[in-house]
């Protein structure tokens, strides 16, 4: 699937369209799709069925030894792994990544906290509840819920008196944290308890060219139904 117009450079060097190796139900992948849409960057989307065994192949491991999506193949044919590294690479030189060193460091801080707190505490919990890997009262679910609540409380405090996470303007910090935070109700969190987070979610959704194409988990994501690193 190709998004945007293909670009073929003149001369001996033929620039390829960027490729995003992408799983449609992954919010880590959705982060990249959202930024690409907002930047209006053309790219080719290469669907990866992570529960159909696609990340278990040698071919995929050559692109990402960690066997995770997303992976960006640049127009020069190089591979970049990790969703937040992909956001940083694509946003560099655009309004989505501030120039000021202090603000950039704060963006980096949120990219880190998203991976340590938001993704496991909200996204990882949601995945395991929705696909039947855990029941809400299972001890690992209770532990993750505590992590997720802590992440939402941290965001609530940060957003109580500001419109966006860093420097009062929409940046990749917001895109990155939005991706799993907006799914919090599906992980059992009540966002009425976090009104500043709720309002911030709506502000992110009001940004130009905002898209939400995060798909629900398919049947083969249930345990035993497919083949993946999750079993
Ligand atoms: N830290 C990684 C995590 C990526 C990740 O966990 N991707 C999942 C989908 S959300 C995946 O592709 N898993 C496939 C597998 O492990 O087989 C990132 O941010 O890119």
pLDDT of residue 226: 82
Of the candidate CATH numbers 3.40.50.720, 3.40.30.10, 1.10.540.10, 1.10.8.640, the domain formed by 2-91 belongs to: 3.40.30.10
Does the beta carbon of 131 sit less than 6 angstroms from any atom of ligand 1?
no
Distance 68 CA to ligand 1 centre (A): 4
pLDDT digits (tens, 9 = 90+) for 59-113: 999 999 999 999 999 999 999 999 999 999 999 999 999 999 999 999 999 999 9
How far does residue 188's CA lie from ligand 1's centre (Å)? 22
User: What is the fold of 101-205?
Assistant: Glutathione S-transferase Yfyf (Class Pi); Chain A, domain 2 (1.20.1050)
Q: Give the whole-number percent of the chain exceeding pLDDT 90.
A: 89
| Residue 191 neighbours by CB under 8 Å, 6+ apart | 152, 184, 185, 197, 198, 201
Digit-coded pLDDT (tens) for 103-145:
999 999 999 999 999 999 999 999 999 999 999 999 999 999 9
Q: Is the pLDDT of residue 11 over 70?
A: no
């Amino acid at each position: 699937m190709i998004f945007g117009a293909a670009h073929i450079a003149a001369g001996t060097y033929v620039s390829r369209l960027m490729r995003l190796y992408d799983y449609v139900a992954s919010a880590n992948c959705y982060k990249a799709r959202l930024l690409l849409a907002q930047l209006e960057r053309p790219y080719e989307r290469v669907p990866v069925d992570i529960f159909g065994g696609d990340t278990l192949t040698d071919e995929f491991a050559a692109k990402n030894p960690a066997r995770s999506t997303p992976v960006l193949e640049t127009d020069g044919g190089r591979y970049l792994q990790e969703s937040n590294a992909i956001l940083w690479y694509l946003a560099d030189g655009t309004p989505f990544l501030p120039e000021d060193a202090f603000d950039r460091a704060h963006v980096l801080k949120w990219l880190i906290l998203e991976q340590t707190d938001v993704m496991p505490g909200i996204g990882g919990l949601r995945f395991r509840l929705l696909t039947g890997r855990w029941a809400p009262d299972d001890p690992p679910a209770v532990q993750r819920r505590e992590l997720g609540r802590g992440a939402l409380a941290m965001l609530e405090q940060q957003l109580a008196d500001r419109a966006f996470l860093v420097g009062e303007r929409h940046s990749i910090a917001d895109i990155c944290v939005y991706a799993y935070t907006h799914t919090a109700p599906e992980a059992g969190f009540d966002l009425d308890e976090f009104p500043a987070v709720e309002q911030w979610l709506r502000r992110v959704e009001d940004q130009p060219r905002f898209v939400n194409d995060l798909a629900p988990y398919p049947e083969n994501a249930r345990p035993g139904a497919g083949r993946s690193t999750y079993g």
